[in-house]
Copies of this chain bind each other. A is one copy, B any other.
């Protein structure tokens, strides 16, 4: 692919389009942060950064890029884990984090209209004031909603509520040629032509740039309760999960964790978890509108766990206790990261009744490849977060082992009829594994779709496919 290099006259032209010099950064003025996301392993500086303030900014810059064959990479707050926001061909980064206004809450249609740069943690806080609820709950609360849409982020509450896709009613999108279009709207149903909105969701900024979103909200559940359930070992903990699903209760979230992750989180946060004596835990939340409604569910689940070897059932019904548990859960990733020199992750998703088999397999891989592997994740929806840790390995050994472990894990994922990524996306890092997992036919169709949106391949090329 041959793209035009950015030169001084492009900088001048784009400055003139944006009409605010401070929001157009050129070469040396660009901070190092723009060269990477949380993947870390891949870095590349863009030649120009535009900090967009409105849809028009995005549209104008995109149109200029289209007319001049310049490559563009959109970026939210840079918390992605697969390199989707890294400008691997240089060119322009459009930073959407300043487009962070909440535009409208519509209580009659239960929607929230907002710009893509609004952070996930702000959405929850904002809608709660109206007794409303935006269920998707990925661990990374400083991600933007635009980023969440672009990866179809899932999070903890997917067991009961589903993923980001299920809560996007409408999108405003700037297409690769700079045109602004609207997909969906405040409507609840839609069977009007191909599902373009659903294509943009999860496309990691390769088909269009989301500049506005209409989210679906729900009434805020009045009560929530968490159960922390210690088990003598991880197998018994995870094997209980399909039995919970089968029992026809619907927990909001079911997470699993091992002592090692908890201890690391305790150290990292400098505070104690309610219990860290046991080898493995499952953590459940139930929400609903009354204590009675929730109690009926969790008593059933508590009994199932005890029948399947649980050592105890710790109930957290105060906000403080729940906060302490979930903040530890939220710190797992950072804690694991702090415990090693470098790491890489696998975000595979398997059918829920295959989680135990997959985790057991990662333990075999630890021995086989003599490398430390840590995992935690969404036992209730089959989405695992598995971290391969470099520790004291030298660069060469690390790269070799990492590749082998990855190959093994994704092969196992395919064997269990899983998918490469549950919620982090493909970006740059997972492309080889997507290629192996998906039939050639499907990849060709995906390429055709990319071409339909972006015939000159200027929007975030080299990602996903």
Contacts and interface: CB of A to CB of B under 8 A. Distances in A.
A179 interface: yes
Contact of A191 (B249, B293, B422): B422
A441 B181 contact: yes
B108 A187 contact: no
A351 B195 contact: no
A187 B419 contact: yes
Contact of A198 (B188, B199, B444): B199
A154 interface: yes
A451 B448 contact: yes
Contact of A446 (B175, B193, B289): B193
A442 interface: yes
A353 interface: yes
Interface stretch (A25-33, A64-72, A327-335, A431-439): A431-439
A202 interface: yes
Contact of A421 (B175, B190, B248, B421): B190
Interface stretch (A115-123, A158-166, A359-367, A399-407): A158-166
Interface string A42-68: 000000000000000000000000000
Contacts of A442: 181, 183, 193, 196
Nearest to A177: B441
B189 A158 contact: yes
Protomer copies: 2
A398 interface: no
B199 A195 contact: yes
Instruction: Give the dominant DSSP class at A's interface.
Output: loop
A352 interface: yes
A187 B109 contact: no
B290 A188 contact: no
B464 A219 contact: no
A230 interface: no
Interface residues of A, number: 97
A418 interface: yes
Contacts of A453: 445, 448
A230 B458 CA distance: 58
A280 to B, nearest CB: 20
Given A108-B242, A162-B166, A250-B218, A189 B445 contact: no
Nearest to A297: B289
Given A163-B189, A181-B441, A191-B202, A108 B448 contact: no
Interface of A: 106-110, 131-132, 151-154, 158-159, 162-163, 165-166, 175, 177, 179, 181-196, 198-199, 201-203, 207, 218-220, 242-243, 245-246, 248-250, 289-290, 292-293, 296, 347, 349-353, 378, 381-383, 417-426, 430, 434, 437-439, 441-453, 464-465
